[in-house]
């Protein structure tokens, strides 16, 4: 693997030019449609990035990342979005990795981080349950220890329970999971953070079809699944601080990437509006101007998030501001797009008359769930109110700040 660390003799524009040339030269082309073929295609691309030293712009170099400066992380995300190359597989890079880097042992970091970044292992999150979504401390999936004490390397946990709304669980190799190791009712004082082999005996994954017709989400069932104690991150019953790290990074993950992505998407929407003659309407121009302003704010917020992570090691509760802003923006943008298309706004991807192969209709349907994933919009607003603005806590909601 080549080392692409910051070169003080190289200017930011030289770095941008070099990155752009690499992405152009090694572009993997349009991906196949089949699920299995597409996963293999993405894995090949992620390995290409890693082996060339162009993976993990914010990751420490010791784990295979680039450890770029703030300015070059921004450049990286901008050029990556413009290049239209595949993103990461699963949800490990932005959520599990920061948790392992902060709380994992040296052996766990060595074993898991490199293969995760290279795409050799796909990770999926196992947090939410049918009765524990927004109220995550109410989770009931149990992990009973057998064969020794909490740190006995020969000991195992026997896991039973169900998780739901798990992105990419159908292609996952590892599921980073929250389990109940304390007594019933212990809430956040009895939660542990386990890494479970998705191919282990007793793990069952079932796809959940959504409004788009796709099955991005899954539900997971654990039936007497045996997990080595060495696959626990942190100490037993003290997983709640790890949860907060994961959730903070989940809400901040890709903030700059999302800003760069929606910069391109908005440009394409403006071009479509021109093609259809919609910009003759002053109300349409007003909405497009509003979206332009919000994309600029998204970019500045993403830059602030990167700064917070680099200086504090954590995105902090302000990551909820970024998350809430992005999800409401993408819903508004796609609602506007289908309205602008008029009758064509009801034609999906399978219709030969659909505009741009139905991408805007698909986006409209997909983003209906945006204000639910990674913590509902209501949870984000509570976090902002209590932990950013300092307003009194809502006694009806779980206290996300508590830890052991």
**Catalytic annotation, residues:** 250
Q: How far apart are the C-alpha atoms of 300 and 237, rounded to whole Å? A: 38
Q: How far apart are the C-alpha atoms of 180 and 190, rounded to whole Å? A: 6
Encoded tokens for 198: 């998705």
Ramachandran category for residue 56: left, alpha or beta (phi over 0 → left; psi -120 to 50 → alpha): left
292: Cβ–Cβ under 8 A, 6 or more apart, which residues? 266
Q: Give first-to-last CA distance, the chain, whole Å.
A: 41
Q: How far apart are the C-alpha atoms of 347 and 350, rounded to whole Å? A: 8
- Residue 157 has a CB neighbour count (10 Å cut-off) of 24
CB 75 within 8 A of CB 15: yes
CB 92 within 8 A of CB 116: yes
Q: Which of 38, 54, 45 is nearest to 1 (CA)?
A: 54
Q: How far apart are the C-alpha atoms of 319 and 57, rounded to whole Å? A: 19
Name the 3-class secondary structure at 267.
helix
* β 232-233/191-197 pair status: antiparallel
CB 266 within 8 A of CB 329: no
Residue at token pair 């917020």 = 301
């Amino acid at each position: 693997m080549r080392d692409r660390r910051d070169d003080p003799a190289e200017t930011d524009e030289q770095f941008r030019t070099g990155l752009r040339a690499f992405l152009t030269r090694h572009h993997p082309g349009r991906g196949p449609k089949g699920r299995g073929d597409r996963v293999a295609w993405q894995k090949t691309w992620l390995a290409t990035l890693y082996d060339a030293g162009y993976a993990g712009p914010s990751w420490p170099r010791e784990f295979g990342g680039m450890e770029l400066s703030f300015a070059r992380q921004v450049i990286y995300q901008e050029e990556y979005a413009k290049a239209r190359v595949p993103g990461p597989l699963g949800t490990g890079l932005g959520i599990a990795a920061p948790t392992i880097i902060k709380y994992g042992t040296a052996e766990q970091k060595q074993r898991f981080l490199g293969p995760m970044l290279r795409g050799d292992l796909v990770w999926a999150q196992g947090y939410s349950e049918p009765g524990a979504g927004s109220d995550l401390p109410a989770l009931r999936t149990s992990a009973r220890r057998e064969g020794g004490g909490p740190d006995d390397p020969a000991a195992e946990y026997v896991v039973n329970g169900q998780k739901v709304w798990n992105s990419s669980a159908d292609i996952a190799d590892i599921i980073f999971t929250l389990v109940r190791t304390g007594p019933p009712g212990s809430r956040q004082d009895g939660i542990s953070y386990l890494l479970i082999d998705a191919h282990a005996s007793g793990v069952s994954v079932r796809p959940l079809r959504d409004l788009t017709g796709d099955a991005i989400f899954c539900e997971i069932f654990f039936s007497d699944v045996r997990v080595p104690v060495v696959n626990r991150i942190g100490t037993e019953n003290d997983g709640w601080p790890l949860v907060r790290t994961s959730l903070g990074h989940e809400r901040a993950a890709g903030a700059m990437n999302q800003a760069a992505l929606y910069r391109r998407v908005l440009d394409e929407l403006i071009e479509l509006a021109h093609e259809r003659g919609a910009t003759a309407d002053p109300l349409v121009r007003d909405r497009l101007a509003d979206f332009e302003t919000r994309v600029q704010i998204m970019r500045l917020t993403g830059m602030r998030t990167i700064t917070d992570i680099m200086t504090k090691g954590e995105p902090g509760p302000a990551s909820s501001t970024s998350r809430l802003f992005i999800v409401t923006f993408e819903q508004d943008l796609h609602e506007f797009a289908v309205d602008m298309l008029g009758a064509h706004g009801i034609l999906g991807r399978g219709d030969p008359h659909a505009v741009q192969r139905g991408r805007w209709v698909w986006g409209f349907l997909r983003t209906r769930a945006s204000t639910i994933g990674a913590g509902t919009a209501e949870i984000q607003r509570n976090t902002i109110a209590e932990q950013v603005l300092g307003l009194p806590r809502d006694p009806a909601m779980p206290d996300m700040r508590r830890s052991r």
